[in-house]
């Protein structure tokens, strides 16, 4: 290894600097410094390529991708409910409000038990890293100790993460067995988690706190206002749910006479570092408000098919420059990988474009022009996620953190199969996004540190 | 091994005798005879259970599932374009008619090359078996030699299959480089494949021929009528596409002044053994016609999101007793497993129920009551597929072929994770269907013969 701790990775890379375009660089040479940031990303005809490659080889610090291996940026999952991990793939049969009360709040209440929290959260962080999710934005529960454990585990395993202690204090909508005792207590615990995460030994920004009012129905005005103050004082990130379903959207309208977006804005919760999950029922005015704030939407298409009653107006949002990334919404969405979410985003956009009811005339069946491409979904899963979080992640370019994965198309017993005589670079990209599983994700780095290395050939 | 060649499998089984119900039998004992048919399926309180188990153990012919392993019926995939396997996951960006001409017909024309056919078809059969697809209904191409190769490979690998040589002779819609030279030639080759498959040495019905007019737009009246005659004479199965997209549906209406369903019926192609792929735009009258014929629909929800312009009226079809099974529609659908198709069927039904356009009032946004459950989708993927094909497959009951798989929830590096303290049997079923990959499918049998055995613990 070189004295300065730098290293290089050479091979074909896929990333998306611009919305709608996949950049394919064959035999690219990515150079990473000791802090885990990319300092150079050279193509073979760039000046210095041969010299840099030779130096890295000499120093024994060059990884050369094997045949059939490709380098991608790590995925950014903007919306994960960590405590719901044990019910992923189940409990999808009832509407949102009932889902919360019947399945989800009882499960989340169990995280009073720190041993249970450690088991579940350890499993989740491991599974997400194995799927190439290098940045994860987590809702934890109302429990401060369990929330600390999640932050600890992310730092230990080396996953970039934003960890939020959930705030929910409304006696009208939250059950007695799972509710903050008061707005003040929720605000104090939120501050305590922020201090804890920022003070974690060895944490130089890999794990960050995020202020987390659950959503409008579960928070009193006092809580929303108090959390807005915390955000104003600390500059912390914010996450919440926004206009997810007819019920949730209608609840906010009735209570405040305005949309969720406007409510969050009024309480100081809509900032450049805010992630609004879902937002399926936002209006065009809401879009303008979100754009003006520089806030972002976490689009969760699979979850939305079960709980949202409509498809997020993705095309319009992207066209207005609204920041949009993707979220699995574990466990509202029964899948673990953002790779799957990418393809679900495309499918949802196609179904929105064409409509669903065959008895309606095609001219009125759907919302014309709604579709997004797989390349656009890939941008959202990587570059767009970084933009949403205001963090230098998602691209294999100088100045970005080296958060990356190798997808291996030659793993045994895999559905990801190439036909070299037929497949173009673009085909390799599309097949990888449609057919890879965690078994194909053979190496993963976060901030230059290797957090997964398996072999399947 | 016992003298008579019988054997048993003991463990927890999941199957679906009735639409909407998953039957869970703990410690069931499934007994299979030398011909690969199930003779008994005993539960622990059934008479003879202990004696039968003891006998099988004594004879060394009992497989006992390990902890975390579960027995499921094999999946039945009613709609696969075998030659399109190399483009699975790509080429999803244009409408159906353009997709055929730009990507698909040029690819299918390559199967003139028998070596290419052998490579691709071998890979496909292997991949489907690895995913637990024990019965596959295949479109091949117009090439008789390559179609024979597909049938050979299915028999060699032990996959239950229906193999169809594609008939398409219309100079107006089929390209010069990929078209039957005449209706007569297409009919002759269809007969030749039927004779070849039925006469394959060692084939006692595992591989069957299926008459395969591509779809209304690509066939002349003479071809449709001639194939109808073949079906009348041979009683062979039939497969084709029906009212898939606005374009295809409209083409048939304009040419014949009637729907595709009525056209196939008029040409003698709608029988108890007919599988109509897609059928998204069928009318209620069409449903009655299909029910009266005892024919079936292969529902392909993922493909339909890309190419169909609407969602198949699944709920109404099931409620009328129409036979419906599931199809991946490789490569119109970019996934390999019917397990994925099951969850896509649920998602499509939910999106049809709720609608997609958030600006429309909820009362008019979707088609109320459209949803199907995961249990119903599982029925379609197994029992319903068997009903569609008029074959005794899809259930773990006496009289059915032992087409089955073991799903192992304890495979290393897998997203299928159970929490024994929380998960009910129903949860195990749902998680397996949402999260299993081929790595979890550790053993597969077709007609009692083991066709896959791997270990991942």
* CA A387 – CA A323 distance, rounded (Å): 7
Find the residue in A nearest to B119 (Cα).
Answer: A419
B-chain CB neighbours of A127 within 8 Å are 415, 417
What mean pLDDT do residues B340-346 have?
A: 98
Is the CB of B374 less than 8 angstroms away from the CB of A92? yes
- Substitution target in A259, A357, A358 with the highest count of B β-carbons within 10 Å is A358
Q: How many angstroms separate the Cα of A414 from the Cα of each of A8, A219, B132, B261, B294?
A: 28, 46, 13, 38, 37
B-chain CB neighbours of A355 within 8 Å are 309-310, 356-357
* CA B163 – CA B176 distance, rounded (Å): 24
What mean pLDDT do residues A36-51 have?
A: 97
What pairing do the DSSP bridges indicate for beta strands A449-453 and A441-446? Answer: antiparallel
- Substitution target in A316, A356, A438 with the highest count of B β-carbons within 10 Å is A356
Name the residue facing A310 among B130, B354, B437 (closest C-beta).
B354
Q: What rounded mean pLDDT belongs to chain A? A: 97
Is the CB of B86 less than 8 angstroms away from the CB of A413? no
B4-25: pLDDT as tens digits: 789 999 999 999 999 999 999 9
Q: State residue A456's pLDDT score.
A: 82
pLDDT over 90 (residue B456): no
Is the CB of B431 less than 8 angstroms away from the CB of A309? no
A162-175: pLDDT as tens digits: 999 999 999 999 99
A-chain CB neighbours of B367 within 8 Å are 356-357
Long-range contact pairs involving A419-422 (C-beta distance under 8 Å, separation at least 24)? A419/B86, A419/B120, A422/B86, A422/B87, A422/B107
A-chain CB neighbours of B426 within 8 Å are 90
Contacts of A241 (CB under 8 A, 6+ apart): A214, A215, A216, A248, A260, A276, A277, A278
Percent of chain A with pLDDT over 70: 99
In order of their start, the domains of chain B are 7-73+395-453 (2.30.40.10), 75-389 (3.20.20.140)
Find the residue in B nearest to A425 (Cα).
Answer: B90
Find the residue in A nearest to B359 (Cα).
Answer: A281
A-chain CB neighbours of B132 within 8 Å are none
A263-272: pLDDT as tens digits: 999 999 999 9
Is the CB of A413 less than 8 angstroms away from the CB of B438? yes
Using 50, 70 and 90 to split pLDDT, how confident is the model at B3?
A: low
* CA A442 – CA A452 distance, rounded (Å): 7
Q: Tokens at residue B276, please?
A: 């109509």
pLDDT over 70 (residue B306): yes
State the smallest CA–CA distance between residue B394 and chain A in angstroms: 23
Q: State residue A1's pLDDT score.
A: 52
B121-161: pLDDT as tens digits: 999 999 999 999 999 999 999 999 999 999 999 999 999 99
pLDDT over 60 (residue A127): yes
Q: State residue B457's pLDDT score.
A: 83
Name the residue facing A351 among B305, B373, B426 (closest C-beta).
B305
Q: State residue B5's pLDDT score.
A: 85
What mean pLDDT do residues A439-449 have?
A: 98
State the smallest CA–CA distance between residue A367 and chain B in angstroms: 7
> In this structure, what DSSP letter does residue B167 have?
E
pTM of the entire structure? 0.98
What is the ipTM score, two decimals?
A: 0.97
Name the residue facing B439 among A422, A434, A439 (closest C-beta).
A439
Name the residue facing B358 among A88, A313, A413 (closest C-beta).
A313
B352-410: pLDDT as tens digits: 999 999 999 999 999 999 999 999 999 999 999 999 999 999 999 999 999 999 999 99
Is the CB of B437 less than 8 angstroms away from the CB of A439? yes
Name the residue facing B310 among A334, A357, A438 (closest C-beta).
A357
Q: State residue A3's pLDDT score.
A: 58
The SS3 call for residue B276 is strand
Find the residue in A nearest to B250 (Cα).
Answer: A362
Q: How many angstroms separate the Cα of B161 from the Cα of each of A145, A437, B65, B246?
A: 56, 27, 27, 30
Contacts of B269 (CB under 8 A, 6+ apart): B211, B213, B224, B227, B228, B231, B238, B240
B156-206: pLDDT as tens digits: 999 999 999 999 999 999 999 999 999 999 999 999 999 999 999 999 999
State the smallest CA–CA distance between residue A415 and chain B in angstroms: 7
pLDDT over 60 (residue A2): no
* CA A114 – CA A131 distance, rounded (Å): 26
Q: State residue A60's pLDDT score.
A: 96
* CA A415 – CA A341 distance, rounded (Å): 18
> In this structure, what DSSP letter does residue B74 have?
P
**Judging by beta carbons within 10 Å of its beta carbon (0-12, 13-18, 19+), is residue A314 exposed, middle or buried?**
buried
Strands (E), B214-364: 237-242, 274-278, 296-299, 323-326
Percent of chain B with pLDDT over 90: 97
Find the residue in A nearest to B128 (Cα).
Answer: A415
* CA B280 – CA A424 distance, rounded (Å): 33
B-chain CB neighbours of A96 within 8 Å are none
B-chain CB neighbours of A365 within 8 Å are 309-310
What mean pLDDT do residues B225-254 have?
A: 98
Contacts of A430 (CB under 8 A, 6+ apart): A374, B89, B90, B92
State the smallest CA–CA distance between residue B108 and chain A in angstroms: 13
């Amino acid at each position: 290894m070189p004295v300065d701790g730098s290293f290089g990775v050479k091979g074909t890379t896929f990333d998306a600097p611009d919305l709608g375009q996949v950049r394919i660089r064959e035999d690219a040479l990515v150079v990473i410094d000791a802090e885990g940031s990319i300092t150079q990303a050279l193509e073979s005809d760039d000046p210095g390529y041969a010299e840099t490659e030779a130096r890295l080889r000499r120093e024994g610090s060059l990884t050369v991708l094997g045949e059939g291996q490709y380098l991608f940026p790590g995925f950014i999952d903007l919306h994960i409910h960590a405590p719901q991990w044990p019910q992923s793939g189940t409990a999808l049969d009832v509407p949102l409000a009932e889902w919360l009360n019947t399945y989800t709040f009882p499960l989340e209440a169990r995280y009073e038990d720190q041993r249970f929290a450690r088991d579940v959260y350890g499993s989740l962080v491991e599974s997400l890293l194995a799927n190439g999710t290098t940045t994860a934005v987590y809702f934890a529960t109302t429990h401060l100790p369990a929330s600390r454990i999640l932050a600890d585990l992310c730092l230990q395993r080396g996953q970039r993460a934003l960890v939020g202690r959930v705030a929910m204090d409304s006696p009208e909508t939250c059950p007695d067995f799972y509710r903050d005792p008061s707005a003040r207590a929720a605000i104090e615990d939120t501050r305590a988690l922020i201090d804890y995460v920022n003070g974690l030994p060895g944490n130089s920004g890999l794990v960050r706190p995020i202020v987390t009012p659950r959503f409008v129905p579960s928070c009193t005005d006092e809580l929303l206002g108090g959390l807005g103050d915390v955000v104003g004082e600390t500059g912390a990130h914010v996450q919440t749910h926004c206009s997810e379903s007819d019920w949730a959207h209608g609840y906010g309208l009735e209570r405040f006479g305005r949309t969720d977006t406007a409510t969050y804005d009024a309480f100081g919760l809509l900032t450049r570092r805010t992630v609004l999950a879902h937002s399926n029922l936002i209006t065009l005015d809401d879009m303008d408000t979100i754009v003006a704030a520089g806030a972002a939407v976490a689009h969760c298409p699979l979850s939305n098919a079960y709980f949202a009653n409509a498809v997020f107006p993705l095309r319009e949002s992207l066209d207005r420059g609204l920041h949009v990334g993707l979220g699995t919404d574990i466990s509202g969405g029964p899948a673990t990988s953002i790779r799957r979410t990418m393809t679900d985003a495309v499918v949802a956009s196609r179904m929105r474009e064409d409509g669903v009811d065959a008895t309606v005339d095609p001219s009125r069946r759907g919302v014309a022009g709604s579709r997004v491409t797989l390349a656009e979904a890939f941008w959202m899963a990587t570059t767009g996620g970084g933009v949403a979080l205001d963090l230098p992640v998602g691209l294999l370019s100088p100045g970005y953190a080296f958060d990356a994965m190798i997808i291996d198309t030659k793993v045994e017993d895999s559905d990801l199969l190439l036909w070299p005589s037929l497949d173009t670079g673009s085909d390799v990209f599309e097949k990888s996004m449609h057919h890879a599983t965690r078994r194909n994700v053979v190496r993963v780095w976060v901030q230059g540190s290797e957090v997964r290395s398996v072999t399947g050939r």
